[in-house]
Structure 1
Amino acid sequence: MDHQDKADTENPAGFASSMRAVGRRLSDRFRSNVVANRSLLKRRQSFIKRSFRVRGWRYLFLTVMVVILVAVVLDNPVGAYRHQWPADILRWAFRLTDIGKSGWILVPTGILVLAGFLIDWSGFKARTRLVMAKWVAASAYIFLSVGISGLIVAVLKRVIGRARPVHYEELGAFYFQPFSNASFASFPSGHSTTSGAFFAAVAIFFPSLRFPALVLAVWLGFTRVLVGAHYPSDVIAGVAFGAWYAYFTALFFAGYGILFKVHENGMPVRRPGYQLQKFLLRG
């Protein structure tokens, strides 16, 4: 134990006072960074021409039709078959299905965003600040896409109250009991929403990975069917909603010229350069 640690141990009041001082400095820095970022966004908003519109509504309508078709055609047969999946497939499904939990995505991205608001940016060179801003912005995009879509679905599934496959024998595939317990929270799938949002974000950042990202999102969602937690329509709805929300969030960022711009076809695409440096230099 060094001299300072010993002094702090022997003087709890002094240690508490030091911690309060550190807390005040971090709080002041957080507020200062929030104000600076708000000013940055206002300048970006005036700099970027917001001449685009959301074009995902047609896709959303088509998704609803697909979900209804899948529910009518597949949900009952899959519900009846749920105890008969091959053991090897089930083993892999149980190993992979929890990748759809959002914690492993939200915790690191949330920490990066929080760190971005707590550090003193003035001590870094302009180029370093630019790189840091890109990382914080990318983390914020993924955090918002996964986090908010997951929160919306968590509320929706309790409001809808669809019985999970565990109740199939007694209640069937289309029994609803809103505002009940977790076994009546099947539609849509939260794990699938996380997979859809995350892999859609990957596909927007890296267009060449669109097909493998789609395959991974659907496969991870389908593991929820294999383990008996959801019906196929729950998974399709979750993946589609998560992907749609990631698209919508990318358009929001594109409106400020951060991370993305809007292509002629209405899709958000990654900006080759974020053009943030001259704004950061003013900070």
Structure 2
Amino acid sequence: MTALSKPLPFGIKSRNWPYFLLGLVVVLALLAPIDHVVSVTAHAWPEPFAGFFATITELGLSDWILIPSLALFVVCMALALISRRERSKAALFHAAGMWAFVFIGVGLPGLVANIAKRLIGRARPVVYDGNGTLAFQSIFNDWQFQSFPSGHSTTIFAFAMVVSFLWPKLFWPAIVVAVLVGVSRLAVGMHYPTDVVAGAVLGTMGAYLVRLYFARRGWVFARAADGSVERRKFALQVG
């Protein structure tokens, strides 16, 4: 993942993605037997850990990312359309594309996670006593049966990758925050480890795929002859 210029993470290529999917299933299967033990242990952490995780878990909500990015996209696009100076227009279109990438790069994986968790309908840890770790109420369910995958983990890992693609120097700080938010979902008793791992993978993959789509169209990113993806420099666009 630290090789951010690669088109896909985890060593995935067009021919080996089934093996990656199989590997993910194996990892989840290996984690499943310890889901409850890890969840209970994390949920029992004393203060100040519990308080810290209860606060940082809020970063996994998407509103604070999607609303500002959508608003900035609309403002930049509107200003670009009315601007009469070519350089200003190009700069504003570039900024609009960047905010569109933030919105879609975070919002699309989050949307997939929310649809998936409703279709799958896995019971959350809060209802473990009456259901266990592998109880399901598919499609017609409430929040108590929307555990897999973790939406908060999906959102924060997608955001971490989006930020890293735009500003690579922020990769490690962004990943640390994402991991802490993922752990917080265990600490607040809302998810099992398998939910968090699945959400992290979904968010990461989603951000990469959105970037690849943008790069193929020359929006914000460009794809080199060797297949690597880099952020386009504004100076190259207008100079």
Return the TM-score normalized by structure 2. 0.84
1:55 aligns with 2:55: no
1:221 shift after superposition? 1.3
1:265 shift after superposition? 6.5
1:241 aligns with 2:202: yes
Structure 1's unaligned 5+ residue stretches are 1-51, 279-283
Structure 2's unaligned 5+ residue stretches are 1-6
- State the SS of the aligned residue for 2:48: helix
The equivalent residue for 1:217 is 178
Structure 1 residues 263 and 63: alpha-carbon distance in aligned structure 2, compared to 1, 3 A threshold: farther
The equivalent residue for 2:4 is none
**Contact 1:197 1:246 (C-alpha < 8 Å) held by counterparts:** yes
1:105 shift after superposition? 0.5
| 1:25-174 mapped onto 2 (5 Å cutoff) | 55=13, 57=17, 59-72=20-33, 74-81=34-41, 83-119=43-79, 121-174=81-134
Structure 1 residues 172 and 82: alpha-carbon distance in aligned structure 2, compared to 1, 3 A threshold: farther
Distance in 2 (alpha carbons) for counterparts of 1:209 and 1:63: 27
1:245 shift after superposition? 0.6
Structure 1 residues 131 and 163: alpha-carbon distance in aligned structure 2, compared to 1, 3 A threshold: same
Distance in 2 (alpha carbons) for counterparts of 1:127 and 1:120: 10
The structure richer in helix per residue is 1
**Larger gyration radius, structure 1 or structure 2:** 1
Letter in structure 2 aligned against 1:153? A
Structure 1 residues 271 and 62: alpha-carbon distance in aligned structure 2, compared to 1, 3 A threshold: farther
1:60 shift after superposition? 4.8
Query: Percent of aligned pairs with the same residue?
Result: 36
Distance in 1 (alpha carbons) for counterparts of 2:80 and 2:172: 40
Q: CA RMSD in A?
A: 2.4
**Contact 1:247 1:268 (C-alpha < 8 Å) held by counterparts:** no
Distance in 2 (alpha carbons) for counterparts of 1:210 and 1:65: 27
Structure 1, residues 18-44: CA drift from partner, whole Å, max 9, x if none?
A: xxxxxxxxxxxxxxxxxxxxxxxxxxx
